[in-house]
Structure 1
Amino acid sequence: MRGGIMKHFLFCGAAIIGLALQPVTAFAQEEHISGSNSLGITAPADAFPQEPGSDYFLANYTQYEAYLKLLNQQSDRMKLVNIGKTAEGRDQWMAIVSSPENLAKLDEYRDIARRLAKADGLSEDEAKALAAKGKAVVWIDAGLHATETVTTQSQIHVLYRLLSQNDPETLRELDDVIMLFPHDNPDGLQLVADWYMRKDDPKQREFGSIPRLYQKYVGHDNNRDSFMSQMPETENANRVMFREWFPQIIFNQHQTGPAGMVVFVPPFRDPFNYNYNPLVMTTLDEVGSTMHSRLVSENKPGSGKRSVAPYSTWHNGMFRSIAYFHNAVGLLTEIIGGPTPERIPLIPDTQLARNDEPMPIAPQEWHLKDSLEYQWFLNRAVLDYASRNRERLLLNIYKMGAANIRKGEQDSWTITPKDVDALKEAAGDGPPPEEEGINPWRSRGRVASSLYSELQKPENRDPRGYIIPAGQTDMPTVVAFLNALIKNGVDVEKATGSFTVEGKTYPAGSYIVKTAQAYRPHVLDMFEPQDHPHDFEYPGGPPKAPYDITGYTLAFQMGVDFDRILEGFDGPFAHVPGLIDTPAGKIEGSAGAGWLVPHTANNSFILTNRLQEAGVPVSWVMQPIDAAGRNFQPGAIWVPNSAGAQKVMASAAADLGLDAFGVATAPSADTMALTKPRIGLVDKYGGNIPAGWTRWLLEQYEFPFSIVYPQELDKGDLKDKYDVLIFADGTVPGDEDSLYRAPREADQPDPKDIPAEYRPWLGEITQDTTVPAIATFAREGGTVITVGSANRLAELIGAPVEAALYEEDGNQRKILDRREFYIPGSLVTAHVDNSQPLAFGMPDTVDLFFANSQSFQAKGNGAAPVSWFDTATPLHSGWALGQERLKDTVAVFDTDLGDGKIFMMGPEITQRAQPYATFKFLFNGLFYGPASAED
């Protein structure tokens, strides 16, 4: 899971001499891998051009799919289910494996799993009866990250073994467990396998030079989309896990393993997220220990846990971690291996056995089939645990859900690091209270028990629920937020009439999300700010990097207005049965002259693009105006009346949820006529993930655009083809003197080693060639938009702005030490000047996603601050050291360069397509830059 396409090569395997002097024997039960069997199941060796797991061979998805269909015909232990379409239109298959008797009653067992997981209206006695009757449900996936080839090739053999073996353990597992074997990324497997197999000489095969992302838009970030569910594969998976099958164990398989070892297996390192039920963690430790023990008992050395890898259980965005917020055990393994043999080197630090590395491994040559054997026993361990603990797993998921419902029905408190800090502050610096018989070492850190009330202040109670009022300025985004919750199994209600709670009246159509539900941890995590613990390498040392990010509260990112309700409440509420359609907008008044549309809804950009596609003129009203009986803030969209406009406007109101207001006369205020922008989105060979997310966004909002590679930039004359160039985070290389976070780079292939169609994609942005071409483009009237680390380019081409976050080292500016400033992916609040075109339609303040980003200060004329930090405590969700350094620095600048514009956006305003509240910075820039150049 670490890194991107080149991750497979970043870690070597492990080595040891003490406990395993003989090479590990792969395919130990060879008779189960190939040849005939009594059940008539075709072995992998007989179904593929070459046996999956063999050196220098990768089966692709077409072959995998065909084998699944063959197994489905041959075995009464399997049912094949299509769970949906992928981004590229393939069928995403899931094999359900169990005993024939269980498969005949799948609907009954699925209903039992649902009732126990949701826990609503179910007594403990009823739950015990259902648990005794039900079957454990286990999800074991493959292929999420397509260059991690062990998982897909091993799943083929795992399925074959479970369908063909008749040993007592297999039969017991089939009887006790319903096993879900989905493929997470069919498109990626097809791409990677075909790329690897393209060369006839096996010794020349590799997939490190794959030309594009292995998920159409987001590549490796397909494992960061879980709570958003925007990619189709993620939505398909979440529907199965949290709305249809409710597995008690979710096993998400990855590679590559930690250096000096074969495989990482849970338990994980701290911190774990304080929102979920602790029974999740204790059960996870049980299952992880069972997996380690199974490997050791099978003489499979080289497994490690906790400290050998950076994986924690904080972030909600991953397949295995979202499980914790749904009361399920989420497992992650990271294993070495691949079709090209490698060598496990000798790393001295891995030689000494310890708790986190119980059985070291000797240096040896390693083959894909070796990893497949490990995968088999890891799968086997999970299934054996589920079988032996079937009834307990079913009852425990009920217990967690029921406990969550009870917490949501009464006063409860979630203790966060800030609460603990406040308790320590209340205790003061005095000596601990003396208590007779307490050893001094046990008194360290003690405070008076009477101070426990500091942790249960009434105002700090967890909410009983959240009310999202109807009539917000961007209801389509509100619906997108609610649908993200619903896709993850959260129960949402809608008011059928007006109601009053805590003295405030809410209109019909408002939405309610109560915390008295089984998935309460997920609800809290999406509405409440994350308070990540201060985590340091050692006291006084540098911060320990979190696994992924620390602050991501979805309601904040999407700009959704809601009220936290601390007391129990009810009203005329109806359960929302499924995904919510965008509510239709309305057209009011007679459009004698045309229509005014507020700029506040993101969908207004779809309207603008559709109007321009139809050849209808569109303008922005540059000042606030009063018209049609209402006040319009700066940026109102003006559409003159015409036959073409009438058709688009009617459709927009129905489909996009936009309100339009007809007026008899055109606005008297200044207007800016918008041109249809020619947009170039910069990408590079291998694919840049933030550019991929941006591509997806541009498609969703119907912006026409082209992908631009460095070779085209270097040719110059860019103004002949483009009006706007977008440089997403990570598209501009860094250097050792840069004050901007350096993007992860991968070596590019020799042009002669790749097909000719991909050679124009090669190249990098360079200071000698590319920078002058882009500077000329801007000076001639072009617009350059730089996001995140790409702002280094803005400085290089001459923007009158400089980085603000640095320290002086003699005459040299250096990036701040992590002990002084560290914000590793958090939400920080900034002020917005929404009278400026770049911020039209935005509120006065906004939460920005800040991931060790840069902030700015002006160094000359022609730089207008658009969004800046006006407080020393901007952190809203996550973790921040030295946040006071942001005060009075600028997050977003509108700068002039010659006849053109440079829009500098330090934070990642489109990060993973989650912060809907900051999309307008980009979308406004796409229209405003070219329009201002026309003026």
Structure 2
Amino acid sequence: MPIPLFRPRLRAMARVKPALAAGALALAGATGAAVAEPIDYFQVEGVRYDAAVPTPESAFGYGLGERPVRHAAMVAYLRDLAQRSDRITVETAGYSHEGRPILFFQVTSPDNHARLDEIKAAHLKRTDPDSRTIARDNPAVVWLNYGVHGAESSAMDAAIPMLYHLAAAEGDAIDAMLDRSVLLITAIFNPDGHSRRINHVWRYGSEVPVTDPAHQQHQLWGTARVNHYWFDLNRQWLLQTQPESQAWLAKWHEWKPQVTADYHEMGTNSTFYFHPGIPARINPLILPRTRELAVEIAKSHVGFLDSEAKLYFGEEGFDNFYIGKGSTYPQINGSVGFLFEIGAARGGQIESPNGLRTYADNIRTHFRTSLTTVEGAIAQRTELHRFQRDFFDSAVEAGRKDDRRAFVFAAPGDAARAYHFLDVLKRHDIRVHALAEDVTVDDTRYRAGEAYVVPLTQPQYRMIAGIFDTATEFEENVFYDVSGWTLPEAYDLAYAPLGRRFDDDLLGTAIDQPAFPRYDAPPMSSYGYMFEWTPYYAPRALYRFLDAGAIARTALRPVSVDTSDGVVDFERGAVFVPLARQSVSAERLHEIAATVAGEDGVRVHAVTSGRTPTPGADLGGRDSFKVVTKPSVLLLHDDGIANYDAGEVWYQLDYRMRMPVTLRKKDQLGGLDWDRYTHIVLPGGYGVGLSDADTRRLKQWVQEGGTLVASRQGAQWAEDVLFPAKETDTNGEPTAEVEPFAYADLAIENARHVIGGALFATRVDITHPLGFGYLDSDLTSHRNTAETLRVPDSPIATVARYTDAPLVSGYASERRQSEIAGTPMMVHRRMGQGAVSLYADNPNFRATMLGTSKLFMNSLFFSTIVDRYRTPAEATAEADD
């Protein structure tokens, strides 16, 4: 009989509620064994614990650190602690994509709980410029993030001993701590990634611990790190496209904590890190006092770590520049942010140059530094109160002195894109108003009823600056993440500072809750329906018709059309769905049109005649309209393709556009029915190339009518294998003399020509079918590679090209700017019956580049309606024939 891999120890199970015990027993199964530590390993020395409060070991049937705790078991146990304790309340802040709850705990003394609303109100007065209240005796408000990266198990499981301690510890010390603080705890930030990681660890578990780093149990770092759609949620504090981040940020701003601690794991070979970060790499919006307070609070960590002779470091490796991370975002929102990173134990125990790394020790270290974070905050409580009051007062004053006065913005013709930007601003607690009167700035007319105003004199001034400002010069050129993220550019908005044009008369209604645009259903038409391609969700609308089996045509030129609303002018790319020759009933077409108007933010017009006032552009025209076919998309991933890039495509198509997309590992194309797909998407990554056999099949598939859409390194590979350069410089460039530099400057020199996630200006050919839907040619793209595409030999193949001075926001060396200037950002070429769309950048970057993502959608719907370019020689030959 085989030895069971799981031997539950249920000595204290009688103390656990029956439902909880049953849940723990149901989890019995194979997993990776690790060193199981008794509960006193996690209990604080000299502290009494209430025996009536179940220990984690009694609830789970195994000791903390022996194996990762499954999400359902953790949720049940932590809810049970809250139910038993008069110190803890719990609520569900939101749900992940896969429907798992994100728990939010409020922990303080029973007396504080009785007046929690009063404490919160007094605390929030510090953010009000009209209040001078400091409330020196108010508790310190501390936020603890557990588990934003699913692969970093100890960063999630540390919530368990922390909440157990807060529920069960007894004595004067814990009473004083809770009387002087309100602790806000989220567990778990990323439950989907967490569950993916745990399934992997349990799947490859063994009775005998395997400490070899090559063991399969220690892998799956990248795919477990992310959420369902493979997004790094620690980059979502600013961007706010995922439900997990939306849930926790709402609670964060509900409280505006004074200290925020963010727990992570890093590479196994590292020791333990905590903020402050690298002094020279601090976002200029962060006040110097923030760092000073971080240094003071960090002394509490040092005291504990030194007492146990643990190895640690600070002020190296990690920065505070990108404002969208969990430890940096708080610092421009009036909080002192801390990042904690510990060398990962991966599957449970793993060898490292610094000795054996164990999962239990990682959990304990994160738990104990959670306590020292609270202790440090309490010790600095009076200073934190003063700092937060001064932070928001100075923000309002800085906004009052800013000559820009206010920003105005609009998304002409696309209310949905404006809605998404408004939603982001409101999630960051930024006050926004509708524009009350038309105003012109730099020859751009911003219209009342379409545009919005963000006044700078408000407590969130620094956050506004972080969102709207552009920066291209930096003290250092080394970045842990992107260096440019100007969101109005990412959303392809028209925007400008108002300066002296601003006065209070321009401030219309405050936008308390942005509303997604919805339109009335068009009347039943006897001829067909038509809508613009400009709205962001027009591709979703078109797919609804195509998926129902309807025929749809797109306008190749601007056209005026007779509708039930009168004559309506449509731009290139407008979609016409006729009633003629449809296999779909007229009633069903009207039903779809009503759904599009009500759910997709797209106004649909009922057409009354096929004859148009536009000469040579009747709706049945041969040259003015072309039929659009339904895309069937295959998305390649894994095997060298970046999960982030692939996940952003998946999210764009599935979640936003409601289009099915087939996911396939890049190296598993054997046996694939290629004819099923109209489009194959090859994202970026370092290892994107296909095998020789798959490359040959890809070429054949494109020649037969398929469309390849490739971005970043995927575009580089596709350009090289599908359109190799006709001429090669065999002479080479003369070798430049090497200029020596000090080894200490190696990191800076290595990064000198790396592009730090910057924004670049392009010009789009809006007459090209793949440029349809844009009302002007200016478009900003996100770039984080130095590779460029070649200028194609076809004069119409370059759909978007970088400008001569392309850098808009972020870091790029002058050399890189010169190399990129004038090169293609997007190339679209016909190949046989098919086509190839190449993107030098990632058009779907972090689901935030709403401007360039329309180009990507055009590649799916309009790729093969593009006419071919014929050289003069080819045209002459055809004429002779």
Which bracket does the TM-score occupy, shorter chain normalised?
A: 0.7 to 0.9
* Aligned mates of 1:379, 1:246 — CA distance in 2: 18
Quick check: 1:561 aligned with 2:494? yes
8 Å Cα contact 1:474-1:600 kept in structure 2: yes
8 Å Cα contact 2:57-2:64 kept in structure 1: yes
Tell me which residue corresponds to 1:715: 671
* Aligned mates of 1:864, 1:889 — CA distance in 2: 12
* Aligned mates of 1:788, 1:807 — CA distance in 2: 28
Structure 1 unaligned spans of 5+: 1-24, 346-362, 413-460, 536-543, 735-764, 812-816
8 Å Cα contact 1:822-1:880 kept in structure 2: yes
Match of 2:834 among 885, 888, 900: 900
Tell me which residue corresponds to 2:596: 652
Task: Report the Cα offset of residue 389 of structure 1.
Answer: 2.2
* Aligned mates of 1:49, 1:383 — CA distance in 2: 30
Tell me which residue corresponds to 1:60: 70
Equivalent residue pairs, number: 784
Question: Any idea what SS the aligned residue of 1:280 has?
Answer: helix
Tell me which residue corresponds to 1:434: none
Task: Report the Cα offset of residue 84 of structure 1.
Answer: 1.0
* Aligned mates of 1:621, 1:493 — CA distance in 2: 36
8 Å Cα contact 1:532-1:550 kept in structure 2: no
* Aligned mates of 2:61, 2:489 — CA distance in 1: 51
Q: 1:28 to 1:374 in 2, by over 3 A?
A: farther
Task: Provide, for residues 377-405 of structure 1, a one-character-per-residue CA deviation record: whole Å limited to 9, x for no partner.
Answer: 31122101221222331332121111111
Match of 2:308 among 299, 302, 305: 299
Task: Report the Cα offset of residue 616 of structure 1.
Answer: 2.5
Task: Report the Cα offset of residue 519 of structure 1.
Answer: 1.4
Quick check: 1:241 aligned with 2:252? yes
Worse overlay, 625-634 or 889-898: 625-634
Q: 1:505 to 1:220 in 2, by over 3 A?
A: closer
Which residue type is aligned with residue 90 of structure 1? R
Which residue type is aligned with residue 63 of structure 1? A
Q: 1:574 to 1:112 in 2, by over 3 A?
A: farther
* Aligned mates of 1:477, 1:404 — CA distance in 2: 28
Which residue type is aligned with residue 227 of structure 1? L
Task: Report the Cα offset of residue 111 of structure 1.
Answer: 2.1
Task: Report the Cα offset of residue 199 of structure 1.
Answer: 4.2
* Aligned mates of 1:66, 1:803 — CA distance in 2: 66
8 Å Cα contact 1:713-1:773 kept in structure 2: no
Tell me which residue corresponds to 2:658: 702
Structure 2 unaligned spans of 5+: 1-36, 211-215, 580-585, 611-616, 736-748, 870-881
Tell me which residue corresponds to 2:377: 386
Match of 1:677 among 631, 634, 637: 631
Tell me which residue corresponds to 2:21: none
Q: 1:291 to 1:106 in 2, by over 3 A?
A: same
* Aligned mates of 2:357, 2:377 — CA distance in 1: 30
Task: Provide, for residues 421-465 of structure 1, a one-character-per-residue CA deviation record: whole Å limited to 9, x for no partner.
Answer: xxxxxxxxxxxxxxxxxxxxxxxxxxxxxxxxxxxxxxxx4x221
Question: Any idea what SS the aligned residue of 1:319 has?
Answer: coil
* Aligned mates of 1:707, 1:574 — CA distance in 2: 46
Task: Provide, for residues 715-740 of structure 1, a one-character-per-residue CA deviation record: whole Å limited to 9, x for no partner.
Answer: 3551x21110011122x616xxxxxx
Tell me which residue corresponds to 2:550: 616
Tell me which residue corresponds to 1:637: 575
Task: Report the Cα offset of residue 649 of structure 1.
Answer: 2.0
Quick check: 1:849 aligned with 2:785? no
* Aligned mates of 2:848, 2:630 — CA distance in 1: 26
Tell me which residue corresponds to 1:498: 437
Q: 1:87 to 1:803 in 2, by over 3 A?
A: farther
Task: Report the Cα offset of residue 161 of structure 1.
Answer: 1.7
* Aligned mates of 1:214, 1:31 — CA distance in 2: 29
Match of 1:374 among 362, 365, 368: 365
Which residue type is aligned with residue 396 of structure 2? I
Which residue type is aligned with residue 398 of structure 1? R
Quick check: 1:232 aligned with 2:237? no
Q: 1:807 to 1:341 in 2, by over 3 A?
A: farther
Which residue type is aligned with residue 237 of structure 2? S
* Aligned mates of 1:783, 1:602 — CA distance in 2: 22
Tell me which residue corresponds to 1:665: 609
Match of 1:121 among 130, 151, 155: 130
Tell me which residue corresponds to 2:460: 519
Task: Report the Cα offset of residue 884 of structure 1.
Answer: 1.6
Q: 1:31 to 1:155 in 2, by over 3 A?
A: closer
* Aligned mates of 1:855, 1:388 — CA distance in 2: 53
8 Å Cα contact 1:824-1:851 kept in structure 2: yes
Structure 1 segment 40-189 matched on structure 2, within 5 A: 40-54=52-66, 57-117=67-127, 119-122=128-131, 124=132, 127-128=133-134, 131-183=135-187, 184-189=189-194
Task: Report the Cα offset of residue 711 of structure 1.
Answer: 4.7
* Aligned mates of 2:807, 2:105 — CA distance in 1: 45
Task: Report the Cα offset of residue 846 of structure 1.
Answer: 0.6
Task: Report the Cα offset of residue 113 of structure 1.
Answer: 2.7
Tell me which residue corresponds to 2:195: 190
* Aligned mates of 2:828, 2:264 — CA distance in 1: 43
Task: Report the Cα offset of residue 650 of structure 1.
Answer: 2.6
Task: Provide, for residues 132-184 of structure 1, a one-character-per-residue CA deviation record: whole Å limited to 9, x for no partner.
Answer: 25322111111111111111222211221222223443222211111111021
Match of 1:468 among 391, 409, 414: 409
Structure with the larger RCO, 1 or 2 (CA within 8 Å, 6+ apart): 1
Task: Report the Cα offset of residue 778 of structure 1.
Answer: 0.8
Tell me which residue corresponds to 2:14: none
* Aligned mates of 1:803, 1:787 — CA distance in 2: 24
Structure 1 segment 255-294 matched on structure 2, within 5 A: 255-256=265-266, 259=269, 261-294=271-304
8 Å Cα contact 2:517-2:601 kept in structure 1: yes
Q: 1:521 to 1:35 in 2, by over 3 A?
A: closer
Which residue type is aligned with residue 849 of structure 2? P
Tell me which residue corresponds to 1:201: 206
Task: Provide, for residues 195-221 of structure 1, a one-character-per-residue CA deviation record: whole Å limited to 9, x for no partner.
Answer: 212245243571514795554444461
Tell me which residue corresponds to 1:486: 426
* Aligned mates of 1:273, 1:574 — CA distance in 2: 33
Q: 1:801 to 1:617 in 2, by over 3 A?
A: farther
* Aligned mates of 1:391, 1:806 — CA distance in 2: 70
8 Å Cα contact 1:788-1:853 kept in structure 2: no
Task: Report the Cα offset of residue 703 of structure 1.
Answer: 1.8
Question: Any idea what SS the aligned residue of 1:146 has?
Answer: coil
Task: Report the Cα offset of residue 879 of structure 1.
Answer: 1.0
Tell me which residue corresponds to 1:350: none
Quick check: 1:312 aligned with 2:319? yes
* Aligned mates of 1:589, 1:94 — CA distance in 2: 47
Tell me which residue corresponds to 2:5: none
* Aligned mates of 1:569, 1:290 — CA distance in 2: 49
8 Å Cα contact 1:492-1:511 kept in structure 2: yes
- TM-score, normalization by structure 2: 0.83
Q: Percent identity?
A: 20
Tell me which residue corresponds to 2:9: none
* Aligned mates of 1:775, 1:393 — CA distance in 2: 63
Task: Report the Cα offset of residue 925 of structure 1.
Answer: 0.7
Task: Report the Cα offset of residue 861 of structure 1.
Answer: 5.0
Q: 1:643 to 1:249 in 2, by over 3 A?
A: same
Which residue type is aligned with residue 709 of structure 2? I
Task: Report the Cα offset of residue 844 of structure 1.
Answer: 0.6
* Aligned mates of 1:829, 1:321 — CA distance in 2: 27
8 Å Cα contact 2:434-2:511 kept in structure 1: no
Task: Report the Cα offset of residue 578 of structure 1.
Answer: 4.1
Task: Provide, for residues 454-489 of structure 1, a one-character-per-residue CA deviation record: whole Å limited to 9, x for no partner.
Answer: xxxxxxx4x2211234x7221210110110111122
8 Å Cα contact 1:624-1:632 kept in structure 2: yes
8 Å Cα contact 1:772-1:797 kept in structure 2: no
Task: Report the Cα offset of residue 605 of structure 1.
Answer: 0.9
Q: 1:820 to 1:860 in 2, by over 3 A?
A: farther
Quick check: 1:877 aligned with 2:809? yes
Tell me which residue corresponds to 2:680: 725
Tell me which residue corresponds to 1:449: none
* Aligned mates of 2:772, 2:387 — CA distance in 1: 50
Task: Report the Cα offset of residue 594 of structure 1.
Answer: 2.9
Tell me which residue corresponds to 1:458: none
* Aligned mates of 1:330, 1:724 — CA distance in 2: 44
Tell me which residue corresponds to 1:333: 340
8 Å Cα contact 1:34-1:46 kept in structure 2: no
8 Å Cα contact 2:238-2:329 kept in structure 1: yes
Q: 1:174 to 1:268 in 2, by over 3 A?
A: farther
